[in-house]
A = this chain, B = another copy of it.
Amino acid sequence: MKINFEHALLKENIADYQDRVNEIHELLFKRECKGNDFLGWLDWPYDYDKEEFARIKEVGKEIRENADVLLVCGIGGSYLGARSAIEMMKGLYPDDKPEIIYTGNGLSSTYLYQVLNHIKGKSVYLNVISKSGTTTETAVAFRLFQQYIEETYGEEEASKRIIATTDKARGTLKNLADVKGYREFVIPDDMGGRYSVFSAVGLIPIAAAGLDIEELFKGCQKAYEDFRTPDLSKNIAYQYAVARRILENQCKGIELFVSYEPSMTMIAEWWKQLFGESEGKEGKGLYPASVTFTTDLHSMGQFIQEGTKSLFETVLTLENPMHDIIFPEDKENLDNMNYLAGKNIDWVNKMACQGTVEAHVETGNVPNILISMKDNSEFSYGYMIYFFFRACAMSVLMLDVNPFNQPGVEVYKKNMFRLLGKPAK
């Protein structure tokens, strides 16, 4: 992974923040920073539960062999990590089973109705993911699909087709899974949803999609090693963390995450949760937004180029695409496109990227931070995720904000429970 600040239009030196970064780095690893009860993700690249990891590989294989459809039933961090991984590594039109459908992440009756219809006659597995089991979106969908699976396969077979990822010791879903005899996997106590993709939360769907979760951990471990040092001349995660704050000082209030692959649109959604939920507190934080280029150059491009100068871009690109195509010759050349014949389409995409950076930075005066990954492999994905974890923690702690809680998410729930007439426990 490489990061390039040449087009970031930074008006301060990143290196000038070394003292502050050293201080936070030390607090982080001494577990004395704000939110220090939620640092389970920090040493996870080595500290993960190996016995459970082996069980995850097994259940992933079983789902893959038996399911036409895997329903992933969870919201927020309980689906975004898995979905971002699966789409990025397999693309939007993979040619194998199982089809993975995300549910329990909203309350649209239309969506639930259509999914119930869509899965009829197919072999269905379900992975329900909830720490407490009381999250309304997930609980509503889970009851519908659980009843469907029990009616379709009978109770005994259903208890094999439903897998619960939940608290290790207590809670509504834990109790339910015990009674029903579901296989159970653990959401660690000291890991918030947005930091949970390397736990069973993300790993079961990722393994079921046929991806190599060992390679994922290798990438994660490599990042861990690379980011041991707080030295700002070496640690690119901390460089990015500091650059965000410098651009905020330059009155850029919006960070726009840019990719050039539609299969990375969910990486952007995952990133928005990571940064938005970590730093959007106490009236602070950069607003995290996203676009997929070149698609959205034809919708949001005008604003970025010439609109209010309130944003900077963080561009994440792949050096090597999953698939490439050589653009074919056409003897009639009625479309005048023969000048590209024999070129790789990925090369055309890269020239579009280069031309866009130049347009936005030089003509539009919009700062661009450029991050590039080698490819969309499991290793690279693991590395990239841990990069963002560490960058986010550092960047938010620089604001003196707790990066690991989300008190504001409770407000709508409290109101909703009152309106729904939910009984007090």
- Residues of chain A having any CB pair with chain B under 8 Å: 75-77, 80, 91-95, 105-118, 133-134, 136-137, 139-140, 142-144, 147, 172-173, 175-176, 179-180, 193-194, 253-254, 260-263, 269, 272-273, 276-277, 279-289, 292-295, 297-311, 321-325, 327-328, 330, 332, 334-337, 339-340, 344-346, 348-349, 351-352, 354-356, 358-360, 363-364, 406-409, 411-423
Closest B residue by C-beta to A327: B140
Contacts of A344 on B, CB cut-off 8 Å?
109
Whether B108 pairs with A260 at a CB distance below 8 angstroms is yes
Contacts of A110 on B, CB cut-off 8 Å?
91, 261, 263, 321-324
| Assembly CA distance A256 to B107 (angstroms) | 20
Q: Would you mind naming 23 contact pairs between A and B with Cβ atoms under 8 Å apart?
A: A76-B299, A92-B111, A92-B114, A93-B118, A94-B114, A95-B117, A105-B298, A106-B293, A107-B345, A109-B349, A112-B325, A139-B337, A143-B330, A143-B335, A143-B337, A272-B299, A280-B307, A281-B302, A287-B308, A301-B412, A303-B408, A305-B409, A356-B412
Among the listed B114, B254, B298, B305, which residue makes an inter-chain contact with A75, where contact means beta carbons less than 8 Å apart? Answer: B298
Given that A76-B298, A107-B348, A308-B280 are contacting pairs, would A327 and B416 also be in contact in the complex, using a CB cutoff of 8 Å? Answer: no
Whether B325 pairs with A303 at a CB distance below 8 angstroms is no
Whether B107 pairs with A349 at a CB distance below 8 angstroms is yes
Closest B residue by C-beta to A328: B147
Given that A147-B330, A308-B283 are contacting pairs, would A345 and B140 also be in contact in the complex, using a CB cutoff of 8 Å? Answer: yes
Contacts of A284 on B, CB cut-off 8 Å?
307-308
Contacts of A114 on B, CB cut-off 8 Å?
91-95, 323
Contacts of A324 on B, CB cut-off 8 Å?
109-110, 113
Contacts of A295 on B, CB cut-off 8 Å?
75, 105-106, 137
Copies of this chain held together in the complex: 2
Given that A91-B110, A416-B355 are contacting pairs, would A334 and B301 also be in contact in the complex, using a CB cutoff of 8 Å? Answer: no
Which residue of A109, A282, A286, A300 has the most chain B CB atoms within 10 A of its CB atom?
A109
Closest B residue by C-beta to A256: B287
Whether A106 pairs with B292 at a CB distance below 8 angstroms is yes
Contacts of A413 on B, CB cut-off 8 Å?
355
Contacts of A327 on B, CB cut-off 8 Å?
140, 143-144
| Assembly CA distance A301 to B285 (angstroms) | 13
Among the listed B279, B294, B309, which residue makes an inter-chain contact with A107, where contact means beta carbons less than 8 Å apart? Answer: B294
Whether B277 pairs with A302 at a CB distance below 8 angstroms is yes
In the complex, how many angstroms separate the beta carbon of A351 from the nearest chain B beta carbon? 4
Which residue of A114, A142, A273, A328 has the most chain B CB atoms within 10 A of its CB atom?
A114
Contacts of A306 on B, CB cut-off 8 Å?
280-283, 407-408
| Assembly CA distance A142 to B173 (angstroms) | 50
Given that A273-B299, A280-B308 are contacting pairs, would A352 and B418 also be in contact in the complex, using a CB cutoff of 8 Å? Answer: no
Contacts of A311 on B, CB cut-off 8 Å?
287
| Assembly CA distance A111 to B367 (angstroms) | 28
Among the listed B176, B294, B354, B363, which residue makes an inter-chain contact with A335, where contact means beta carbons less than 8 Å apart? Answer: B176
Contacts of A302 on B, CB cut-off 8 Å?
276-277, 280-281, 406-409
Which residue of A80, A113, A364, A414 has the most chain B CB atoms within 10 A of its CB atom?
A113
The 9 A-B residue pairs with the shortest CB-CB distance in the complex, in nearest-first order: A280-B307, A280-B303, A76-B298, A355-B415, A305-B408, A273-B299, A355-B416, A113-B323, A93-B114
Whether A336 pairs with B408 at a CB distance below 8 angstroms is no
| Assembly CA distance A421 to B341 (angstroms) | 12
Among the listed B108, B307, B346, which residue makes an inter-chain contact with A261, where contact means beta carbons less than 8 Å apart? Answer: B108
Known A-B contacts: A134-B336, A305-B409, A351-B416. Give 4 more (CB < 8 A). Answer: A91-B110, A253-B308, A276-B299, A288-B303
Contacts of A106 on B, CB cut-off 8 Å?
260, 262, 292-295, 349
Whether A283 pairs with B307 at a CB distance below 8 angstroms is yes
In the complex, how many angstroms separate the beta carbon of A174 from the nearest chain B beta carbon? 11
